[in-house]
Structure 1
Amino acid sequence: MTNLEARHHEILKILINTTGPITTEKIGEALKVSSRTVRSDLQIIQEWLDGFDIKLVKKPRMGVYLKATAEQKIMLIDKLSELGEYYSEPFDSTEREKYIISRLLQTDKNLTSQQLADELFVSRMTIYKDLENVEKWLGKHQLALIKKPNYGLEIIGEEENWRKAFADFLAEHLEKDKLKNLVREPVAIPLDRRLDPDNYKQLAGMFPEIDVRKIERILLEAEKQLNSRFVEETYTALIVHLVISIQRLRDKKDIKMPGSQIQKLKETEEFKIASFITEELEKEFNIKIPESETGYISLHILGAKIQRSLPLKEKAIEEMLKDFDDDLIKIVYDIIHVTENTIDVKLSSDKVLVTGLALHLRPVINRIKNGMNLHNPILHQIKENYTAVYGIAWIAAGIIENRMGIKVGEEEVGYLAMHLGAAIDRATSPKRALVVCSSGIGTAQMLATRLKKLLPEIIIEDVVPAGVVDSMLKSKSVDLIISTIPLDLKDLPVILISPLVTGSDVIKIRNAIGNYNNIKIRHTLQNHEGGFVSDLIPQELIFYKKRYRKKEEIIEDIGNIMVEKGYVKHEFIKTALDREKITSTYIGKGVAIPHGEDRLVIKPAVSVITLSEPIDWWGEKVDLVFYLALHFNNSKYTKSFFKEFYDMMDNPELLKMIREAKNSSEISKILLMRGEI
């Protein structure tokens, strides 16, 4: 039998996936070879196909196609696999749905269900079932799927929503390498390491007529004018947005924007950069870009995360903070104070956290206000490995929502968790101290011994006289100076103490390093005002082994009970459902925390629900639900709950006990004995 080379495999894949004739010119464009080369390859392929009684049909002026049944195509796929070619068709329902979404988004022509059935080697009835979930996915992006007899399938909706849907789809699946079989892989590599090579290949394969490297060059030049660099996810998101925009403009689909909004955007520096990008794109791709598109690009830049190195010196950080709006800084400190109250770790003095949050939140607010999302590629890892911190980040999101009147999605909550988690790590990691003592060696060693005994969380690097401090700091990295004599150092905190190290000295040092309670979360479950469990998680809101088919049923059913018992207003349920339409409240480890708007809470409460069978929660399996009806801003009940909730999520044994409880009373007892576990 004739041997096939790698290019023959590629041509066969194209023919297997194509319904109807395809020209040799199109095949050549896909493989970067001439149509003459393709014609020669087709002769070799036909000789190979003769062994399977399959014919290549060539229609003049129309192209070539495989005359093969679905079973024969499946056989060919298996044969290619035997020959060492990695190839798999998306047969399971999840992969079929992704395939269908990809096809619908990529084509400007109507597809029929029969076409999709032929391409996926399944029946039309199977496609009809797959389309139910496809419609749900489109609905989340405010798009609809029209199905007309003898016409086909068509996505309809606002152009802005269409583009967001396509960008979200790419963000979800590019780095997961799930579209590999749908696209060719060009040889070129990206210009900048921020765009992953595999993502680049996928993107270039889905849009073969758009040179992604040209867009990269334009963005790299724009960064020079902006005097800043976009972080990796922003850089990739901008490229994806521009690729989609170019394709849609070529398809005569442009975006609309009110003139008043464009005028306001023109006052920003970002609009100037967007105008530069627009002009360069027009030259490189020979297209005319309307002003509304420039406005849309400027919105993306306004919402972009910028890569900046924070200044190390306290004075420089203070100067940077002066550039931020007072309201933004107030939100930052509110978030920090709530986090401090939840975990008993001092973070207010962490200027890296303050500045980092301020730099992060400014574009976040712009993104959310303008309906844009930024994909968080490690969201799942954050939820599963840092569940407690992610739960605290939801409180922070509540503060932003209350203050700004916007809804914060799980992707942004994940980024907040990263900032807070890093700060908590800094606060809880051992601090390195240089001890300065004016007395003799014996007194100095006694001082060091006493400090180690009273403050085991501090690493004593050395004990030195005042005269050698400057030279020591050049060779040792320390976080603070503990001294028995006054010192004037600009860049490090100096704590003046007695040579005897009194109790007040210990408090003074712990105040300085943000460690009030030895970084131990207090177990005070039974001692909160009013009784934590009896008031915040009353017995009447604990439900054992309930059976539900979907998350909406839980939110409605338990929500109605909370309304009936006087905990929330009826509108609370709708706001909780609306939130779940926008973003997931799954926080990891099989736990979800649905919640509505706190303005509709009459009496703060938390309902605990264990499920007899896990249910799907935005693609994750959930069997334990904490339905929150809390005031997220200042309520002492909220702080009390999350103080315990933080620790609970880091205690797999406790979660197991709740799940295995025999009834609601036992769950209540487990929560009551929480402080003793």
Structure 2
Amino acid sequence: MNDRQKELLRILLVHKEGFLHIKDLSERLECAEKTVRNDLDRLEEYLLDYPSAGLIRKPGYGITIEMEEAERSSILGSLLSSEPKTKEERLVEIAYQLLTSREAITLQYFAERYYVAKAAIKKDIELISNWFIRYGLELVSKPRVGNIIEGTELQKRNALAHLSELHSSLSPEKNVVLDLFLPYEISIVRKALNDMQDTFSLAISDSSMDSLLVHALIMVKRTRQRSPIFVKGDAKEEACKRKEYQYTTWLFEVLESAFGLAFPEEEQVYFTWHLISSKRTEEGMDQLLEVDEEITRMIRVLMEKMGKLTSAPYESDPILNNGLTVHMQAVINRINFGFPITNPLLTNIKKMYPYMFNMVMMALHDIKRTFQMEIPEDEAAYMVLHFQASLERLGKKQARKALIVCHMGIGMSHLLEAKIEQQYREIEIIACIGKAEVKDYLKEHKIDFIISTIPLEKINIEHIVISPLFGQEEKNRLSQFVEGFKQRQDKLLEPSVFSQFLNEETFFPHVEKAHRYEVVERLANALFQKGYVSKDYIHSAVNRERSSATAIGGGIAIPHGNPSMVHTSVIAAAILKERLEWGNEKVSLVFMLAIAKEDQSKVRGIIGKIASLSETPLLVHALSAVSDYREFLKMIDY
């Protein structure tokens, strides 16, 4: 038997209550009624090997199989044993059937289909039900009727597209949704999408092309099932004006011919939305036909806000501006059209770049107030990568300012200058002067260090003495000096941050709370009571925590509120009596960062120190057992 005939046999074996009509069977199998009749003939031959089995065909009633339960179970077992299902595969298939079925499905149906106990199926249903909530869907269980999904078609399709995220053990590298479709369907749709991309020279990212493939396959499936999407009239008019609508028209002509379907106009609008929301590559910048002025303003405000928070000149980085424009256009469209995404890198980004992640979330809080646009943390994490890359680009431009002091005249001074700048891009020579001019020059100018050809006395700035000929030995010595200078400066950027901002009255050992929001509220309220922050800071800190869990890995969380509500910079530290769920992690140490605007330049060093702490689990474990403030401070400021 082929796969379709096996599925037909399985349907008839599982359905014990009454007859099934040929028409219903053809719809479930997505084939012609004539094909079903031919397959039934094949099943009759197969059932001859089972003495108690009989295929009953009653005109006007339908089809059913009558046989003893032992033999029925034996056939079901053999059907399943040829393709054993893991628990994860079973979860995906059950969720898929619930999302695509118009009728309620019983636990007994799933138990017999997967040859497992009803108790196991019940647990599966509970897990799936909780996951459906993410997409605004409700799984309703009706006694003696079965389980059915309540929600809009858009919500169901969003859930279908994200079935790969149903269980944490499912491999992120493999999109299990594709396993639910036939190979020839996947091949047809993939080729049509690639041809569309080539025909119109669309610069769409690979991940977006994969997403378009899944949504197109779901669209074909739901069109066959006569489950159309709902689109408002004004939304249709707006979509028809977009150039992407022309691309979709071309694509639909190909798919309609290949599948023998006629797609409703609403489906064309729906897929146009997905095309508009797809991520473009950097080369696709010119394809952003009408970048919304509001988005342009939003990016400008975001870059300005981030510049103030991190003291970085982002406005001087055109690559960042272009990248954010391409990205933000897709983000806003996804939010407006109701297409949520899940960022598989979210947890890693929060751990790798805790400083930048928290700065972006803080900036987006202001964006929400100004533009009434809430950007979820999954989208925000991608923005973190844009800003982090910009920070590293800008860092390369921020060379160390050096002064050359040479006793052998202008010619030798400028030759030495040329050699150094050619060899070291991170060194910018500000001037070449004689020894006698040094003190007066330093009064007027700020430099990082001095490169001198003669010893200097009574100079309170780091310097190195080298030969004016600048041979290989001098190059090695200067390299070591520059590297040492960087390390010394980095240490200066992170002085004893905890002794500077943490004090005994903001240290809270043995904190016992049931939820992370309660911990955040307690710490923020303590800071308010002691006069460090305004009362609004409490609400601000809890809201920030609601928007995204502030755990950074290693058992540490760093909640914080709006800096404008901080009167005096302070850090509050809490040691939790029991490890607490903090988003997707367990946390034992909590540092509330209440850093005023005037001290924002120090935030990076503070979070950097905490991030390094999160990478030393033994120290975190030891700190979690401390109850004395001075001992805690001594251990943490190692």
In the superposition, the TM-score normalised over structure 1's length comes to 0.65
**What amino acid is aligned across from residue 498 of structure 1 in structure 2?**
C
Offset at 1:274?
A: 3.6
Query: Given the superposition, is the C-alpha separation of residues 557 and 350 from structure 1 closer, same or farther in structure 2, using an over 3 Å criterion?
Result: closer
Residue aligning to 1:4: none
Residue aligning to 2:406: none
Offset at 1:367?
A: 1.9
| 1:111–1:153 contact (8 Å) kept in structure 2 | yes
Residues in 1 aligned to 2:192 and 2:209: alpha-carbon distance in whole angstroms:
12
Residues in 2 aligned to 1:95 and 1:593: alpha-carbon distance in whole angstroms:
37
Query: Given the superposition, is the C-alpha separation of residues 635 and 579 from structure 1 closer, same or farther in structure 2, using an over 3 Å criterion?
Result: same
- For 2:512, which of 543, 546, 554 is the aligned residue? 546
Residue 154 of structure 1 aligns to a residue whose secondary structure is strand
Residues in 1 aligned to 2:542 and 2:316: alpha-carbon distance in whole angstroms:
40
- For 1:621, which of 566, 585, 598 is the aligned residue? 585
Residue aligning to 1:650: 612
Cα deviation code 1:566-622 (max 9, x no counterpart) = 644786688468636xxx65544444556788999999887654445545555x332
Offset at 1:305?
A: 1.0
**What amino acid is aligned across from residue 333 of structure 2 in structure 1?**
N
Residue aligning to 1:59: 55
What are the residue-to-residue correspondences of 1:262-281 with 2, within 5 Å?
A: 262-281=236-255
Query: Given the superposition, is the C-alpha separation of residues 136 and 662 from structure 1 closer, same or farther in structure 2, using an over 3 Å criterion?
Result: closer
- For 2:297, which of 316, 327, 345 is the aligned residue? 327
| 1:545–1:611 contact (8 Å) kept in structure 2 | yes
Residue aligning to 1:474: none
Residues in 2 aligned to 1:506 and 1:321: alpha-carbon distance in whole angstroms:
43
Please say if 1:296 is aligned against 2:266.
Answer: no
Residues in 1 aligned to 2:213 and 2:365: alpha-carbon distance in whole angstroms:
31
Offset at 1:230?
A: 1.2
| 1:77–1:88 contact (8 Å) kept in structure 2 | no
Query: Given the superposition, is the C-alpha separation of residues 410 and 264 from structure 1 closer, same or farther in structure 2, using an over 3 Å criterion?
Result: same
Residue aligning to 1:421: 388
Offset at 1:327?
A: 0.9
Offset at 1:167?
A: 1.8
| 2:573–2:591 contact (8 Å) kept in structure 1 | yes
Residues in 1 aligned to 2:200 and 2:594: alpha-carbon distance in whole angstroms:
42
Residues in 1 aligned to 2:345 and 2:256: alpha-carbon distance in whole angstroms:
35
- For 1:367, which of 334, 341, 361 is the aligned residue? 334
Residue aligning to 2:139: 145
| 1:70–1:118 contact (8 Å) kept in structure 2 | no
Residue aligning to 2:215: 241
Residues in 1 aligned to 2:73 and 2:422: alpha-carbon distance in whole angstroms:
70
**What amino acid is aligned across from residue 353 of structure 1 in structure 2?**
L
Residues in 2 aligned to 1:596 and 1:142: alpha-carbon distance in whole angstroms:
29
Query: Given the superposition, is the C-alpha separation of residues 405 and 598 from structure 1 closer, same or farther in structure 2, using an over 3 Å criterion?
Result: farther
Please say if 1:523 is aligned against 2:494.
Answer: yes
Unaligned runs of 5+ in 2: 58-62, 401-408, 451-482, 530-534
| 1:614–1:621 contact (8 Å) kept in structure 2 | no
Residues in 1 aligned to 2:268 and 2:254: alpha-carbon distance in whole angstroms:
12
What are the residue-to-residue correspondences of 1:315-354 with 2, within 5 Å?
A: 326-334=296-304, 336-338=306-308, 340-341=310-311, 349-354=316-321
Query: Given the superposition, is the C-alpha separation of residues 134 and 66 from structure 1 closer, same or farther in structure 2, using an over 3 Å criterion?
Result: farther
Offset at 1:71?
A: 9.5
Residues in 1 aligned to 2:564 and 2:232: alpha-carbon distance in whole angstroms:
32
Q: Which moved more, 1:244-253 or 1:11-20?
A: 11-20
Residues in 1 aligned to 2:562 and 2:267: alpha-carbon distance in whole angstroms:
34
**What amino acid is aligned across from residue 136 of structure 2 in structure 1?**
Q
Residue aligning to 1:214: 188
Residue aligning to 2:423: 460
Residue 97 of structure 2 aligns to a residue whose secondary structure is helix
**What amino acid is aligned across from residue 143 of structure 1 in structure 2?**
L
Residue aligning to 2:86: 89
Residue 373 of structure 1 aligns to a residue whose secondary structure is coil
Residue 162 of structure 2 aligns to a residue whose secondary structure is helix
| 1:432–1:459 contact (8 Å) kept in structure 2 | no
Identity %: 18
Residue aligning to 2:547: 579
Cα deviation code 1:245-266 (max 9, x no counterpart) = 2322332322223323333344
Query: Given the superposition, is the C-alpha separation of residues 496 and 298 from structure 1 closer, same or farther in structure 2, using an over 3 Å criterion?
Result: farther
Residues in 2 aligned to 1:258 and 1:130: alpha-carbon distance in whole angstroms:
36
**What amino acid is aligned across from residue 579 of structure 1 in structure 2?**
S
Residue 498 of structure 1 aligns to a residue whose secondary structure is strand
Residues in 2 aligned to 1:598 and 1:42: alpha-carbon distance in whole angstroms:
76
Residue aligning to 2:60: none
| 1:332–1:354 contact (8 Å) kept in structure 2 | no
Unaligned runs of 5+ in 1: 1-6, 48-53, 179-195, 434-438, 452-457, 462-478, 483-494, 510-514
Q: Which has the higher contact order (CA 8 A, sep 6+)?
A: 1
Offset at 1:206?
A: 1.1
Residue aligning to 1:50: none
Query: Given the superposition, is the C-alpha separation of residues 668 and 412 from structure 1 closer, same or farther in structure 2, using an over 3 Å criterion?
Result: farther
Offset at 1:154?
A: 0.5
| 1:555–1:573 contact (8 Å) kept in structure 2 | no
- For 2:432, which of 490, 493, 498 is the aligned residue? 498
Residue 153 of structure 1 aligns to a residue whose secondary structure is strand
Offset at 1:139?
A: 1.8
Residue aligning to 1:532: 501
| 2:197–2:203 contact (8 Å) kept in structure 1 | yes
**What amino acid is aligned across from residue 341 of structure 2 in structure 1?**
L
In the superposition, the TM-score normalised over structure 2's length comes to 0.68
- For 1:115, which of 106, 109, 112 is the aligned residue? 109
Query: Given the superposition, is the C-alpha separation of residues 498 and 307 from structure 1 closer, same or farther in structure 2, using an over 3 Å criterion?
Result: same
Residue aligning to 1:285: 259
Residue 211 of structure 1 aligns to a residue whose secondary structure is helix
Offset at 1:291?
A: 3.8
Offset at 1:155?
A: 0.4
- For 1:404, which of 365, 368, 371 is the aligned residue? 371
| 1:430–1:459 contact (8 Å) kept in structure 2 | no
Q: Count matched residues.
A: 563
Residues in 1 aligned to 2:544 and 2:51: alpha-carbon distance in whole angstroms:
58
Offset at 1:153?
A: 0.5
Offset at 1:290?
A: 3.8
Residue 408 of structure 1 aligns to a residue whose secondary structure is coil
Offset at 1:112?
A: 0.6
